[in-house]
Structure 1
Amino acid sequence: MQNLEAFSKLLGSPKNIVITTHHKPDADALGSSLGLGGILKKKGHTVSVITPTDYPAFLNWMKGNDEVIIYEANNQAVSKDLVEKADVIFCLDFNTLSRINELGELVRASSAIKVLIDHHLEPEPFYDFQYWNIAAAATCELVYELLVKMNYESLLDKDLAECLYAGIMTDTGGFRHNNTTANVHNITAKLISHGADNARVAKLVYDTNSLDRLRFMGYALSEKLTVLPEYRTAFFAITSEELKRFNSKTGDTEGLVNYALSLEGIVLAAVIIDRTEAVKMSFRSIGPFSVNDFARAHFEGGGHRNAAGGKSDESLEKTVEKFLSLLPAYQADLTNVKITNQVNA
């Protein structure tokens, strides 16, 4: 971080702080928010964590979860008041204010000092301070590094270390992706030394399923997977009626796209879901094929080179048609990718 001395001075006295993260937070988003929030509370700050939307129930174990303010759950007025009164607003695990929905304009209008901590490509320059590195596997990794730089690491306890560990674990695909660097292993070792129970966190995140979710995943794999070998592409298209049929909750479709990418020879994978208010899309790729560029160019999205999201205001049918119509233009890029045993993030 540039101006670390000024940043440290800013946090040297008690402040009203808001921490926010992207809609439908995952383990990295929520873990970095609650991990950082817990440390700042220990330093005497008044901290409120606000998420734009709900998040998966398998993250409810995180310390501080019971105090999270979910903006869309009839908390607009209290969120607005907290943002307006904030001295400092931390923006974690997103690179543009549109990623926090209606909260974005509240944050933009706020006179608070804004701090970005993130690892996504091409951040919007709305911040006063930033700790940003696209080479980082997770925002939790960056939060830990910043705690060390500010001499706050000794404040980590078991609960906060587990929040940060969960974000790093999930954003590296359980330490399987090629963003699992030596730095990642060094940091997770330090988090374990602070008390993080790695086996417990893995169990809570990966092995806590509802019967409805397991049945949905089986249905999607057997009935909804489309494979296009000529384009080295595989995708799922899920209707809103199918989500209702399996009583789908937030997080129930998480990880589905990785099954498509796991198919031998596949370079591009997608999940296209009718969420009623919009069609949401999740993309994954292998090698040099950039789904960040693909999503930005065609589906108002972005993210990382090999993991990105997008959306469409068209119907599910028309969105799938558009997706399919784009593939011929990318056929050469997709077919020229050399697949090794390496898994991309």
Structure 2
Amino acid sequence: MEESTMKRSATVSNPFTTSVAGGSDFCDRRQELAELERLVQDGQSIVLSSPRRYGKTSLALHLQARLREQGFLTVYVDFFSVLSEQDFVTKLAKAVVAGIGRGASPGNFRSRLANLFRSFTVTFEARPEGIVVSTALAPGTSPATGLDDVMEDLFSYVEKNHRKACCVFDEFQEIATLPESKRIEGTLRSHVQMHKSISFVYVGSRRQLLMDMFGKNRPFYGSSGFMTLNSISSDDFVPYIVQKFSESGKTCSPDIASLIYDHVAGYPSYVRRLAAFAWGMTETLCTKDIVEASWNALLDDTTALFEATWTGLSPIERRALTSIAVEPTSQPSAYEYLQRYHVPASSMQKAIEALKMLDLVEYDKEWHLVDPVMTAWIKDTRSNTI
């Protein structure tokens, strides 16, 4: 390799982000973004669902960035790690404070929060990277009262300042795992239905759990529209891969980019990760052999996660998952299928329902695994356990 190429490879960073994609890293989703923007501008709320790592968070944050340009107040909170009702309320309050204070100087930040948040103690510290906020329920305040107050205070701030707002509740379905979930849902809905100045985008990747929250006999029933993210088409992703290689001084032909896309069945985050491995292994020209080596690296990289998921399943659930990975089927309870994979008839349907709730399997003409890389991992490492 020539010295100039070595210097360029050492200084150019990998152009394929494997985290939240923003700016030029954001690929396509033009139609979904425009539709979400239109719905929020009309004051509607939306349930945004898809499998894990499909780009929901990137899309939601991209939406909020565009809305801020139009004067919207935006609030983003991730409930993935929520542990309790108090944790939920504290996370929400912190996100509301951060949204209201976005872009403010320390002095202006304090004035924006004046006479707000009766149930919370808010502290903040000015750091070079920005203002760091902490919130805590005031002594003697119950989480239920705190949730009522933070929602009321948020709506009061928006109306007082004559603004529209958009709140993104990421991994919203996780509150359904809390003992107080019905109370939380009821309190949130009571505020949402009384105030129309704020749109909510409820984002989730455990799709069955999320859909159940908006089903009949639940507080949120009928409160929101629904949008499902599909995979990004190869017509959009392949040119994106080619361009990213080119911009960083390397070459990936459309045929090789298509191979990257097809290897992971167009699954958005895996397309980026496989492309990132391939880019890292490429000196000047990406080849089929490099893609194959990158695929093996991706399998190695995901093994720990898949093993953790596998360990959390019951023996029957593992057998059901393995059978569907090896042989997708529209009739998992058929006698020959059950005999072939040694799953009792009485257990298969229950196992599939559990796997569906975990978003590991889905039905589209036939039952198959949601994750194409997990499918390959099971075939390579677990199919001999049947």
What is the TM-score of this pair, normalised by structure 1?
Answer: 0.34
Higher fraction of helix: 2
Structure (1 or 2) with the larger CA radius of gyration:
2
Higher fraction of strand: 1
Structure scoring higher RCO (CA < 8 A, sep ≥ 6) equals: 2
What is the TM-score of this pair, normalised by structure 2?
Answer: 0.31
